[in-house]
């Protein structure tokens, strides 16, 4: 993935088991839990490129959220105020070599950021 590519889409759900059955039946998605991320089933579309996760719904997470690959979350956060945005969730590690954060655009939409490798 390159800087600016959409790399991941989280879908908020109330019932993980039901959600994990819905999309494969309709769209042929593969859904599986990955070791170390139990309770967060990951989905992959038939094209093998598109993917994301099924995440528990919360008051801050009510709509699907796209994550954009960036070269540096820190660089994006440094430019955020001047661009009219704000931080919704600060930078957090996923693995030793990858991080995520969530920003708000000027209209209040949440946009996920992803940096690194998920090996």
Structural domain spans, the chain: 10-61, 70-119
CATH classification of 70-119 is 3.10.180.10, yes or no? yes
CATH classification of 10-61 is 3.10.180.10, yes or no? yes
pLDDT per residue as tens, the chain (119 positions): 789 988 899 999 999 999 999 989 999 999 999 898 888 999 998 887 778 999 999 988 899 999 999 999 999 999 999 999 999 999 999 999 999 999 999 999 999 999 997 55
Gap between the Cα atoms of 18 and 1, Å rounded: 31
Same fold, 10-61 and 70-119: yes
Gap between the Cα atoms of 116 and 109, Å rounded: 23
- Let me know if 61 is exposed, middle or buried by CB neighbors in 10 A (0-12, 13-18, 19+): middle
- Let me know if 54 is exposed, middle or buried by CB neighbors in 10 A (0-12, 13-18, 19+): buried
């Amino acid at each position: 993935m390159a800087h600016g590519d959409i790399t991941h889409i989280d879908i908020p759900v109330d019932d993980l088991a039901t959600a994990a059955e819905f999309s494969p039946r309709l769209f042929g998605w593969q859904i599986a839990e990955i070791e170390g991320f139990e309770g967060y089933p990951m989905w992959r579309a038939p094209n093998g490129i598109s993917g994301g996760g099924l995440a528990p719904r919360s008051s801050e997470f009510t709509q699907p959220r796209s994550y954009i690959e960036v070269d540096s979350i820190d660089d994006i956060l440094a430019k955020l105020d001047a661009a009219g945005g704000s931080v919704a969730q600060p930078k957090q590690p996923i693995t030793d070599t990858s991080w995520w954060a969530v920003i708000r655009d000027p209209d209040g939409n949440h946009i996920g950021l992803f940096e690194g490798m998920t090996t």
